Structure 1
Amino acid sequence: MIIRHAAMEDLKAVTELEAKCFPAAEAAGRAAFFDRLASFPDHFWLLYEDEKLVSMINGMATDEEHLTDAMYEHADMHSKDGAWQMIFGVATDPAEQGKGYAAALMRRVIADTKSQGKKGLVLTCKERLLSFYGQFGYRNEGVSGSEHGGAVWYEMRLTF
């Protein structure tokens, strides 16, 4: 298992993995990933197994306390020294789920974020994933104001 930050060369692989993992209304497309990779590659973690991308986590840093829908589309909102690490997506190839890849990657993201001196991490998730993120210490702050993809999202926060 290899965990590393993303680079522009990963654009095709991350776009394909995202499309496998999220409904079209929720999945980021090639243009969004291009902007994210250009703006914050060090806030984009990839997990490879046998030279295959199996899981990824990406998001921006900001001083904003809540994850907003605008952040998904505006990579220029990233602030390298921002107090909070936002998590836009946690994606694991459906054929590889249940093997601990997302958990291993999340532990790395948490450790990296803590070592950067940030206040913590914020993400939104669907109700069925509340307990998954809860195991890492994220606390449910209730239904988010997000309308991303037309789904109901819960804001989760891990404060250091």
Structure 2
Amino acid sequence: MADLESLSAIEAACFPPAEAASSYELQSRLTVYPDFFWLLTEEQTIISFINGFATDCPDLTDDMYADATLHNPNGEWQMIFGVDTDPRFQHRGHASTLMHAVIEDTKAVGRRGLVLTCKEHLIGFYQRFGYIDEGVSSSTHGNVRWHQMRLTFDEMN
């Protein structure tokens, strides 16, 4: 919870207001599933983070962003709600470093894989990690067109 202010500032810098998680939503997430935040720090400053929760639901739905109680710590799928890097540190590989860690951690606990949504211009970025574009998502979060991306560990072997 001590990181809430920093996380909120980075989130606000990375996403337009309609898409960004509010400080209240981040606080709820930290309260319910603090171990589902991956942080990259440099000299005690958070420079990048990824957050999300686990669920048995195979698709990312809009209600998941706002309702932290939908988290199931033993869920089959790791949902990714945000991949954020402080703009002062972007384009240096920090998000990639964290994504590799999230993938390895998710695989290590035996989940089926990861799911996220992204804008069309980011599809190639996530495909580099093995995510498959499943097409336009039913999500209308922030009134934006999202693509659902899935990384299934069975398909990676």
Report the TM-score, using the length of structure 2 for normalisation.
0.96
1:69-84 correspondence runs (5 A): 69-84=62-77
Q: Distance in 1 between matches of 2:141 and 2:147?
A: 12
Cα deviation for residue 50 of structure 1 reads 2.4
Query: Amino acid of the residue matched to residue 131 of structure 2?
Result: Y
Structure 1 stretch displaced more, 149-158 or 90-99: 90-99
Q: What do the CA deviations read for 1:106-144 (whole angstroms, capped 9, x no partner)?
A: 000000000010000000000010000000000000000
* Equivalent in the alignment of 2:23: 30
| Secondary structure of 1:98 counterpart | coil
Q: Distance in 2 between matches of 1:101 and 1:50?
A: 14
Q: Which of the residues 45, 49, 57 maps onto 2:42?
A: 49
Q: Distance in 1 between matches of 2:15 and 2:48?
A: 13
Query: Amino acid of the residue matched to residue 33 of structure 1?
Result: L
Q: Distance in 1 between matches of 2:41 and 2:94?
A: 9
Q: Distance in 2 between matches of 1:50 and 1:138?
A: 31
| Secondary structure of 2:150 counterpart | strand
Cα deviation for residue 75 of structure 1 reads 0.1
| Secondary structure of 2:3 counterpart | helix
1:9-158 correspondence runs (5 A): 9-158=2-151
| Secondary structure of 1:76 counterpart | helix
CA RMSD in angstroms, aligned pairs only: 0.6
| Secondary structure of 2:69 counterpart | helix
* Equivalent in the alignment of 1:4: none
Q: Distance in 2 between matches of 1:50 and 1:44?
A: 18
Cα deviation for residue 12 of structure 1 reads 0.8
Structure 1 stretch displaced more, 18-27 or 45-54: 45-54
* Uncovered stretches (5+) of structure 1, i.e. residues with no partner: 1-7
Query: Amino acid of the residue matched to residue 122 of structure 1?
Result: V
Q: Distance in 1 between matches of 2:70 and 2:37?
A: 15
Count residues in correspondence: 153
| Secondary structure of 2:115 counterpart | strand
Query: Amino acid of the residue matched to residue 126 of structure 1?
Result: K
* Uncovered stretches (5+) of structure 2, i.e. residues with no partner: none
Query: Amino acid of the residue matched to residue 85 of structure 1?
Result: Q
Q: Distance in 2 between matches of 1:151 and 1:50?
A: 35
* Percent of residue pairs bearing the same amino acid type: 55
Report the TM-score, using the length of structure 1 for normalisation.
0.94
